[in-house]
Amino acid sequence: MTSPDMARAQDFRFTNVEINGNQRIEAATILNFAEIARGETVTGGQLNDAFVRLQNSGLFESVTLTPRGNTLVIDVVEFPTINQVSIEGNRRLNDDQLLSVLQSAPRQVFTPETAEADAAAIIEAYQLSGRLAATVEPRIIRRSENRVDVVFEVTEGAVVENERISFVGNRVFSDRRLRRELATKQAGIFRQIIRADTFIEDRVAFDRQLLTDFYQARGYVDFQVLSVTPELSRERDAVFLTFNLREGQQFRFGQVTASSDLSEVDIDGYIAAIDVDPGEVYSPAKVDRTITRLERLALAQGLNFIRVTPRVTRNDAAGTLDLDFVVERGPRVFVERIDIEGNATTLDRVIRRQFDTVEGDPFNPREIREAAERIRALGFFSVADVNTRSGSTEDSVIVDVDVEEQPTGSLSFGGSFSPDDGFGLIVSLTERNFLGRGQTVSLNFDGTSGDQNLSFRFVEPSFLARDVSFSFSVGTVSSNNSNREFDIDRTFLDIGVGFPVSENGRLSLSAGYFSEELSDLDPVNSSPILFRETGKESGARIGYAYTFDTRRTGLNPNAGVLLRFDQTLQSPLGDNTLLFTEATAIAQTRVFNEEVLLRAALEGGAITAIGDASSRVTDRYFLSRRQMRGFASNGIGPRDREAGNEDALGGNKYVVARFEAEFPLGLPEEYGIEFGAFLDIGTVWDLDDTAGAGGVEVDDDFILRSAAGVSVFWDTAIGPLRFNFSRALRKEDYDDVSNFDFTVSTRF
């Protein structure tokens, strides 16, 4: 490439311009870039500027400008056209994955700059998969008619694994506990399969925020991640990641009150609404929930533009933070409109209903942030950004929602095993955003050698545009196993609605139809009680359920409670009306610096016959291995011992208490193995008909059983495995015990 440096000291006047070498690009286009008109005086500097404009146009491989008397000769060599683009040497990432990140494409003009940018994009794609040593070399193969084939030669290199993740400066929480909070994981024995243990720089940045959230939720307001140091091994196939932390001291709530200068605010009502007690561990989440509660109280009182601002007084010596929630009037700003972009499939209304605010409402930044969290929690979008900008007037704002869709359907294959039923297959087809309406549709099959379950379920989470869920399910169940010497075939259809009744409480109403048949009894060995219950029965049922759950929404991040109470009235097309009453209470907490999880559960149920009704074996309670470990499914409770089959008959009442702990035992965390211990106590009792074989009365008294054991939890690449080793501590001679079982679930 040459430039007319020798012409800079003189002026030129060209009456003719001669252009050579152009094949695809019109001469007029070249003259437009040169900006040199015929007959006008041109300085040497202007001629040099014309050369720079042509060279920077990105259209030419080389440019030469040569003055020849009154003629300016422009010689150009055009960049070639791309004939095809190919990638060689790639095995871990296929061609489709890599071609999608390239700018170079057939029939486009080739430039070295674009090829280099494409090579960098391929390298970045490999780095995101943990291959930091990947290199890419772009090459061209010349073809006829000024065409080239572009070939990117890839050397993938080895996966760079997180060989070790360690922490410096942590005094309260162990390395093991902190590693559990990170998105980045240590390489384990399944390092060739699990991708979370590869080093990805963007994931480490996310880990910094996860650690900050973890500590601040536990009162460490001064916590900082000072630095994160990744060190490559000598072989460049592993990273040793070190987080340098400053924990600071833990703070608790001191004096908590509310105040206001507004005459229309009754501050006593706001103080009563504060659900934070002095002495509790400080948490930003507790403060946010209190602010939300107080601002909603103001709206309920008809007060608009009210803002609640926490004023914090720090007492380092006592380790407390005094809070004064100041109720004040905020700026009079309205929401002009809510703009939604990027939702190619999801309907606008699915996103809009996540907002408590509509166009024309007072603008509340906290409500907008909460709506943004709800949009992200839907799981429909890979990106969900909610921002505000000024509206058409000074007192208005526009809320912009930018989303990127992601797949919401899944096809799952699972496996199960139990000593009673053997191996089973679980297949589930689920779409969580059906037709972009936010609805869930699922089809499930669960089958073993003895049991087959097939069901369909539909859920509308916002029925009639309200915070009301509507569900519809239909299915069929066929069972001839699980320690039973008879067949049960059941078909059901259920509909239900659910709605919140408090911050953590929810009420559900249900109605349905059922049809079930008891058949194929052994004519010689089955209990006469069962023979009196054979046949088909169908009818309707209605019920309600109340659930109170703080495991995810409670103020304590280490503890939670689940309470459930439900009743169902079942009325067949005869006179056999039954009332089912069931209750469950579960509490869990973490102790010893969150290294040990403790869980306790109590559940029970009772069937009440109305009038002369009596329960059938298809109605009564049987404890499964999940409910009562140490015993086989249907292994305890009333049993007709005089019958040849010694049939388990179930009971009208049951109660079970389960206590368990999960804890590490010092194994390397990358193995994914933890241990547990459990104690289960429970029983099934009470029959309406106790006249068994040979006229002998069946014992249906309340007799407690108990079992204890240990568990091994193994988080593997094929799913979480749980092995239970148990021993019955208290049992009856006729009970069926089970000293070992395990469960496995996987998804492909």
pLDDT in tens, 434-477: 999 999 999 998 877 667 889 999 999 999 888 899 999 999 98
In angstroms, rounded to a whole number, what is the distance separating the alpha carbons of residues 618 and 536? 10
pLDDT for 7 beyond 80:
no
pLDDT recorded at residue 76? 87
Over residues 574-599, the mean pLDDT reads 89
DSSP secondary structure string, 689-737?
--B-GGGPBP------EEEEEEEEEEEETTEEEEEEEEEEEE--TTPPB
* Final residue of a structural domain among 155, 182, 213: 155
In angstroms, rounded to a whole number, what is the distance separating the alpha carbons of residues 504 and 675? 31
375: domain CATH number is 3.10.20.310
pLDDT recorded at residue 607? 95
Check whether residue 670 and residue 593 sit in a common domain: yes
In a domain, 436, yes or no: no
Check whether residue 197 and residue 211 sit in a common domain: yes
In a domain, 70, yes or no: yes
Q: Domain count of the chain?
A: 6
Q: What is the side-by-side order of every strand in the sheet holding 238-246? A: 161-168, 238-246, 224-232
pLDDT for 130 beyond 70:
no
Check whether residue 497 and residue 629 sit in a common domain: yes
Check whether residue 607 and residue 649 sit in a common domain: yes
In a domain, 438, yes or no: no
pLDDT recorded at residue 650? 92
Higher pLDDT: 219 or 25? It is 219
The conformational region for residue 125 under phi > 0 = left, psi -120 to 50 = alpha, else beta, is alpha
pLDDT recorded at residue 6? 44
For residue range 683-705, list pLDDT tens digits in order: 999 999 999 888 899 999 999 99
| C-alpha torsion sign, points 418, 423, 429, 433 | positive
pLDDT for 748 beyond 50:
no
pLDDT recorded at residue 258? 93
Over residues 633-638, the mean pLDDT reads 89
The tokens of 172 are what? 């309260």
Give the residues across from 260 on adjacent strands.
Answer: 327
In angstroms, rounded to a whole number, what is the distance separating the alpha carbons of residues 271 and 292? 14
pLDDT for 332 beyond 80:
yes
Check whether residue 729 and residue 650 sit in a common domain: yes
For residue range 274-309, list pLDDT tens digits in order: 988 899 899 898 898 899 889 889 988 888 888 999
pLDDT recorded at residue 414? 62
* Final residue of a structural domain among 78, 106, 132: 78
In a domain, 339, yes or no: yes
pLDDT for 189 beyond 70:
no
Check whether residue 575 and residue 724 sit in a common domain: yes
pLDDT bin (cut points 50, 70, 90) of residue 422 is low
Check whether residue 481 and residue 614 sit in a common domain: yes
Report angle CA 721, 726, 732 to the nearest 5 degrees.
140
pLDDT for 633 beyond 50:
yes
pLDDT recorded at residue 194? 47
In a domain, 414, yes or no: no
Check whether residue 492 and residue 578 sit in a common domain: yes
pLDDT recorded at residue 594? 83
Check whether residue 272 and residue 233 sit in a common domain: no
pLDDT for 413 beyond 90:
no
Question: For 314-318, 402-406, 418-422, 605-609, which range has the lowest pLDDT when averaged over its residues?
Answer: 418-422
Are the C-beta atoms of residues 557 and 522 closer than 8 Å to each other? no
Check whether residue 496 and residue 601 sit in a common domain: yes
Domain that holds residue 103: 81-155
Check whether residue 573 and residue 454 sit in a common domain: yes
- What size, in residues, is the chain? 748
Q: Which percentage of the chain shows pLDDT scores above 90? A: 41
Of 102-106, 177-181, 186-190, 309-313, highest mean pLDDT = 309-313
| C-alpha torsion sign, points 237, 240, 243, 244 | negative
| Nearest partner of 375 among 406, 334, 336, 410, judged by Cα | 406
* Final residue of a structural domain among 155, 174, 198: 155
Are the C-beta atoms of residues 531 and 547 closer than 8 Å to each other? no
| C-alpha torsion sign, points 314, 315, 316, 319 | negative
Return all residues near 131 (Cβ < 8 A) that are at least 6 apart: 92, 156, 157, 158, 159, 160, 198
pLDDT for 654 beyond 70:
yes
Check whether residue 45 and residue 28 sit in a common domain: yes
493: domain CATH number is 2.40.160.50
For residue range 60-70, list pLDDT tens digits in order: 888 888 888 88
> What integer best gives the mean pLDDT of the chain?
86
